[in-house]
Amino acid sequence: MDESMNKKSNSRRTFLKHATVLGTGVAVGGILPGFSAKSYGRIIGANEKINVAMMGVNSRGFALASNFSSQSNCEVIYIADVDERAAAKCKAEVVKNQSAAPTLKTDFRKALEDKQVDALVVAAPDHWHAPAAILASKAGKHVYLEKPCSHNPHEGELLVAVSKKYGNVIQMGNQRRSWPKVAQAIKELHEGIIGKPYMAKTWYTNNRDTIGIGKKTKVPAWLDFELWQGPAPRRDFQDNLLHYNWHWFWHWGTGEALNNGTHMVDLARWGLQVDFPTRVTSTGGRYRYQDDWETPDTQLITWDYGDKGMMSWEGRSCNGRTNEGESVGVIFYGETGALQILGGNAYQIFDLKNKLIKEVKNDVAIDPRNKTSPSQSLDAIHIQNFFDGIKKGAPLAADISSGYISTVLVQIGNIAQRTSGLLEIDSSNGHILHDEEAQQYWKRTYEKGWEPTLS
């Protein structure tokens, strides 16, 4: 790169990191003045665009790439995926939204070498989340990180430490933190609309089919399976693993609890204003089918916060009967009533006699069971908050320190599930007490040479 290009790159990065203008326009209880549901999808930003590299674009990443490229203050300049078919499909989608075509890379690390890249969006499988975010942080990039932020608690702790060391912006993709009416519901809860809340119940339901018994086969020509495995110790390719079923294997995924539970547990923790519990319990199993699926398809996790209250999460992957009329949601029980956040950008408040006293309805269509893009227009607010964090130093709706706490809550629930079923927890840091077997799950083993590190 010649000297003039270097100066351009340096001045651009200085602008993105140090521009001082008004803080974020997304406030608790509302959105920018004059905005309506139709305005959510493409919020006008600053003239200077943020250059983004996408990592993992087969499913959720495809939707994110479409959303990021639709923002007027963003340019997707790289698409990185180990599946060349997914990369090509995503490129065709992105060029519908922006004038310049992104460059395709199999290895996302090649994109990190480009000084023009400001941020990495990570939507690869769970075992890649923290390692990729850490590599991006070390390369001087900001990170938009899909939930869960890590595959195991140690990675989450490391990610928080890395963010503090390198000073970059890391936003976790628990986007409901940015949905205006959800934020309004939490604000009302904190202001005492149902008195002191002392219990939060969360859930997720679906009708997932069997994944069958996989066969070990030759790696397809379109797939770089070595790079797909990355930090995870090597295993043979099997035909029922990609692209979604890895969620149900402990080696790469974290089950339904982290896949969908993280969203609602995060809202429950936000509403009750709690961090780490004193103990956690979990019960459940793989009941519906006899196949390769390892994680529970039915699970109940509870968190005990002593006199502060309790939380629970019910996951039913293979029976879609709704709870409280919703396939996904959270309900808070308090001294004078209950507040339910529905599957979308809506909520209801009830008194102790079960009378509906307030209802705030959706103004945007939401499909909570859509695994690719349940809420694209609302998610644009979360993306813009991420951009404001980069350019203005604005507070993040879902910074990595907060995201880590919500993630580790569900992770220790899974650890309880895999061990004794009940764990005592250090409420100051979330660590497991008095259980050597459970403590072994705090960190995973890595393929040699792939272990993420702080330095």
Q: 90 pLDDT exceeds 80? A: yes
Which part of the chain is CATH 3.40.50.720? 3-177
The architecture that CATH gives domain 181-214+223-370+401-441 is 2-Layer Sandwich (3.30)
pLDDT tens digits along 213-237 = 999 999 999 999 999 999 999 999 9
Strand partners, 347: 341, 360
Contact 415, 440 (CB under 8 A): no
Quote the CATH superfamily of domain 3-177. NAD(P)-binding Rossmann-like Domain (3.40.50.720)
Query: pLDDT for 331-342, tens place per residue?
Result: 999 999 999 999
Q: Which pTM does this prediction carry?
A: 0.89
Angle, helices 400-418/262-272, rounded to nearest 10 degrees: 110
Percent of the chain's residues with pLDDT above 90: 85
Q: Where in the chain is the domain with CATH 3.30.360.10?
A: 181-214+223-370+401-441
Distance CA 213, CA 292 (A): 5
**pLDDT over 90 (residue 12):** no
Measure the CA–CA gap between 99 and 72, rounded to whole angstroms: 11
The DSSP string of 145-204 is: EPSSS-SSHHHHHHHHHHHHHH---EEES-GGGG-HHHHHHHHHHHTTBTBSEEEEEEEE
Say whether pLDDT at 255 is over 60: yes
- CA–CA gap between residue 242 and residue 255 (Å, rounded): 15
Backbone conformation region of residue 192, classed left if phi is above 0, alpha if psi is from -120 to 50, else beta:
left
In this predicted structure, what is the pLDDT of residue 373?
56
- Does the pLDDT of residue 322 top 90, yes or no? yes
User: Quick one: pLDDT at residue 368?
Assistant: 64
